[in-house]
């Protein structure tokens, strides 16, 4: 597909503490209306990243279970409302509307596991966070539009841009 977003940054993290450090930096640039597509195979660390990101935002630490069976969990963190979606069990992309996803897109930060289940309904303005297992831990690749690139220039200034 010719309109795939550009790779902005790549990070290698060794363990969950590295994932948490990355999530803290990512959390610092999020605002209402943001859509973060968490992409990766089963067990790659999508929920661990979502958990770390939610707990990096202001508020008391809380348990962040995978919403595999509930399909969506919501969290109020500081000034942000976070909607954490797990679309693994969605069969028809249109089913996401029953979850209130349009409200999340308008007013909250949406973290979406298994975003490919939305097909063409996934807005193109999303930040794609791909998590892959590598021999030394995980590789996290961020892809997005120019707005995302600008946001990351300050918070990830010391990290070389790839892509």
Bridging pattern class, strands 80-86 and 109-113: parallel
pLDDT at 162 over 80: no
Identify whether the C-beta of residue 151 lies closer than 8 Å to the C-beta of residue 13.
no
Domain ranges of the chain: 6-155
Question: Across all residues in the chain, what is the average pLDDT?
Answer: 88
pLDDT, tens digit, for every residue of 36-91?
Answer: 999 998 888 899 999 999 999 998 888 888 888 889 999 999 999 999 999 999 99
Q: Phi/psi of residue 13, each to 5°?
A: -120, 145
Nearest to 34 by CA among 90, 93, 69, 79: 79
What is the CATH number assigned to the segment(s) 6-155? 3.40.50.300
DSSP three-state, residue 49: helix
Query: From the centroid of its chain, how far is CA 59?
Result: 19
99 pLDDT tier (thresholds 50, 70, 90): very high
The residue ranking higher by pLDDT, 105 or 156, is: 105
Tell me how far apart the alpha carbons of residues 139 and 94 are, in angstroms, rounded to a whole number: 31
pLDDT at 133 over 50: yes
pTM above 0.85, yes or no: yes
159 pLDDT tier (thresholds 50, 70, 90): low
Structure tokens that stand for 51 in this block? 């958990």
CA distances in angstroms from 39 to 42, 59, 77, 129, 142, listed in the order given: 10, 26, 23, 6, 10
């Amino acid at each position: 597909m010719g309109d795939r977003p550009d790779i902005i940054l790549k990070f290698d993290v060794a363990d969950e503490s590295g994932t948490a450090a990355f999530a803290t930096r990512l959390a610092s640039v999020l605002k209402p209306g943001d859509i973060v597509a968490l992409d990766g195979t089963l067990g790659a660390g999508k929920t661990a990243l979502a958990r770390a990101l939610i707990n990096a935002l202001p508020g008391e630490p809380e348990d962040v279970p995978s919403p595999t069976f509930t399909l969506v969990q919501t969290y109020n963190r500081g000034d942000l409302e976070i909607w954490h979606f797990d679309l693994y069990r969605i069969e028809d992309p249109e089913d996401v509307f029953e979850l209130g996803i349009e409200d999340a897109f308008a007013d909250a930060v949406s973290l979406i596991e298994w975003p490919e289940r939305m097909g063409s309904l996934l807005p193109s303005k999303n930040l794609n966070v791909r998590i892959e297992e590598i021999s030394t831990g995980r590789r996290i690749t961020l892809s997005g539009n120019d707005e995302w690139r600008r946001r990351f220039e300050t918070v990830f200034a010391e990290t070389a841009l790839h892509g």
